[in-house]
Amino acid sequence: MITSVSKKVEETVQTDIVVKTTKKAKKKTVKTTTTIKKVIKTTNLAQAGNANISQLKGIVDDKVISEFNRVGMTIETNPNSSLLKGADGVFSPSQKKIVIKNNVNRVLVHEVGHFVAYVNNRADSTAEFRAIYNAEKNNFAGDNRAYAVSNNKEFFAEVFKEYSMNRASLKSHCPRAYEYVKNVLADM
């Protein structure tokens, strides 16, 4: 993982100004204190590398983690990956990996949702799920709504994310999608 950290550094600069007055040539010293705030961006390259599916333990179903490991999937955190093409994450079944821009769980869970659909006979593309998508997409209340409703595959990934991270809201707004993901996970 590549971590960028911004930190504030305060510098205090003391400036002495000498002012001479006429007649008795008194020396008058005026002290001025100026505080300069700087923001320094640092990158810790020592943390560059792969995230791990185990960081989602307790968020996603244990069966998903087991299957992910069984098929040899990896997770790469690389904001410069050519696979991303401007996206925050991508699931690549041919390369057996998920690439994410930053190690953010909500993005990782979304991409794991694509993995779940893929290993479950393309569960995001069945006639049943496309019907659910068409019926419930306008009810979706999760974050990233515009992207979620763009097509059935992204809807499945976002529904999976909501199932994993905000189950009660998903069940309330998209009950058929909730049940569908629940059944997909039960069949893993």
Whether 176 and 161 map to the same domain: the answer is yes
pLDDT number for residue 31: 55
End-to-end Cα distance, the chain: 29
**Residue 158, token pair as written in the block:** 């976002």
DSSP class of 57: B
pLDDT number for residue 155: 98
Q: Specify the number of domains making up the chain.
A: 2
Whether 71 and 147 map to the same domain: the answer is yes
Cβ contacts of residue 134 below 8 Å, gap of 6+? none
CA dihedral in degrees (163, 131, 153, 142; nearest 10)? Answer: -40
pLDDT number for residue 103: 83
Rg (CA), the chain: 27
Question: How far lies 17's CA from each of 27, 31, 137, in Å?
Answer: 10, 6, 68
Whether 61 and 87 map to the same domain: the answer is yes
**Residue 82, token pair as written in the block:** 């050519």
pLDDT number for residue 54: 86
**Domain hosting residue 20, numbered range:** 3-45
Whether 53 and 41 map to the same domain: the answer is no
Tens digit of each residue's pLDDT, the chain (188 residues): 333 333 333 333 444 444 455 555 555 555 555 444 433 333 333 234 568 898 899 999 999 999 999 999 999 999 999 999 999 999 999 999 999 998 889 999 999 999 999 999 999 999 999 999 999 999 999 988 999 999 999 999 999 999 999 999 999 999 999 999 999 999 99
pTM check: above 0.75: no
d(CA 180, CA 133): 11
Is the Cβ–Cβ distance between 149 and 136 less than 8 Å?
no
Partnered with residue 37 across adjacent β-strands are 10
